[in-house]
Amino acid sequence: GIQVEQSPPDLILQEGANSTLRCNFSDSVNNLQWFHQNPWGQLINLFYIPSGTKQNGRLSATTVATERYSLLYISSSQTTDSGVYFCAVAADSWGKLQFGAGTQVVVTP
Amino acid sequence: NAGVTQTPKFQVLKTGQSMTLQCAQDMNHNSMYWYRQDPGMGLRLIYYSASEGTTDKGEVPNGYNVSRLNKREFSLRLESAAPSQTSVYFCASSAGQNYGYTFGSGTRLTVV
């Protein structure tokens, strides 16, 4: 199956700081999504982004499919951004996602 | 509120007992999925249903069965629970291959 590697594994930020999370994948994909798992365990879909760039408020994501990586940018971080960020990819016709191990983000006041 | 509803939220089973985890979505999505999340292992696909009437195995199907009862509902059954099935179980749905997932809030299952 496709290997998904996320970096860094852990990130500690001060409120207001900017950060970049990276997702590398081992093969061509037709589906790439970013999720945020909050401290209560809820998984929220942030972006469906198999290629190109998208923005949603303080979050943006870029996927360079030809080079097999995706980046998630968090700007002006807030304590509510704390949690685990997952990248997940699929290369089939059924959208079966393969998840990375996640990046644990802690935003301190 | 549109979304994916999972029941129960918490469950404790004894080894060998059976139970069914329920999942329902009201977004008219074709595809539904069951994942388990274990510490240090990320999320792994157990079973999926690409459309009503079809189901297929994912990465870790052993010990589980599923039923796609109709377009809305996709249940996961543990016939004889084992401690190795202690995990958090998530159901998700999607309109199809080129769309994002919506996850339910999860079921925390402990098998003793």
Of B99 and A21, the one with more pLDDT: A21
Contact B82, B15 (CB under 8 A): yes
Chain B residues touching A93 at Cβ < 8 A:
50, 97
Contact B31 A35 (CB under 8 A): no
pLDDT in tens, A48-85: 999 999 999 999 999 999 999 999 999 999 999 999 99
pLDDT in tens, A8-54: 999 999 999 999 999 999 999 999 999 999 999 999 999 999 999 99
Instruction: Write out the H or E segment, with its range, that includes residue B109.
Output: strand B107-111
Paired strand residues for A103 = A85
Proportion of chain A in helix, strand, coil states, percent, rounded to 5: 5, 55, 40
Distance of CA A36 to the CA centre of its chain: 8
Give the per-residue pLDDT at B1: 62
Residues 70-109 in A contacting B (C-alpha not used; CB under 8 Å): 86, 88, 90, 92-102
Q: Does A35 touch chain B (CB under 8 A)?
A: yes
